[in-house]
Structure 1
Amino acid sequence: MDVGAHERELAMEALDEHRRAGRLERTEHATRCATASRATSRRQLEALFDDLPEPHPDYPRTPAGPAPTTARTAGDPPPELPELVAPTGATIARHAGLISLLTPAVAALLFAVSGGRFPWIFILVPIVIAGVAFISHRHER
């Protein structure tokens, strides 16, 4: 059975419990969490707990039949990215307009504070804006 981010997260939370209880050393915990984050099947996740007592992840029961789908209309906003997946990129994407607006002002302030000695600072403005646009575009999908 294929697993999604929620099941992987449940497995990592159970591994955290074992770490806090002293059953896993730091490196073993990190290795198992890395394996859990890449797992694609329930069997891969369950193998992480073969040698550990309870708690094991309490995976949600899957209903028989096809999974329900929800249709999105053209006016619906895109789904939010989980912060666990892309915390920095998602934050930059959410604040792209503000970052793009403030970048020239910050460059002008730095230019003024430096006494006009670094005019090349304005070259960074389009570079920063292009970087923010690229990151925002990646997180709109």
Structure 2
Amino acid sequence: MLKQYEEIYKTYFPRVFSFLVKFCGNDELAEELTQETFYQAFLSLRKFKGQSHLFTWLVSIGKNVFYKHLKKNKKDIDSVNIDLVVNVLYSDHLNSPEEMLLKKALVKTIKEKINEIPEKYKNVVILRIYADMPFSQIAETLG
């Protein structure tokens, strides 16, 4: 069983780490989150039913580990570099079907969260993400 864990770790560590670097924008934090992701995955490996690709499952755990990290450190969505999230969504390096599904899920989550914020802040986010406006131009546009 240990050999199997090692193989999973060696195979998927670089991809999970790369995803988390792009997601959080910090190599050191991504390293820590990747370690925690594999720890949580190994604790739950028996629950993995194989209904999705193993990488998809690991990235899902990684996202949850990242969100728990934000909550634990009392940081909110403002601490996430929105440019990095946009880069992940629009990057071409994540091309597998599983990764495309993850992008779609992330877009859906972002849209849901945007809809939850007050209108004046929502407009800023929409102009930044969808119109790719610099903050100075957004300030001028919205007054």
Q: TM-score, normalised by structure 1?
A: 0.26
Q: TM-score, normalised by structure 2?
A: 0.26
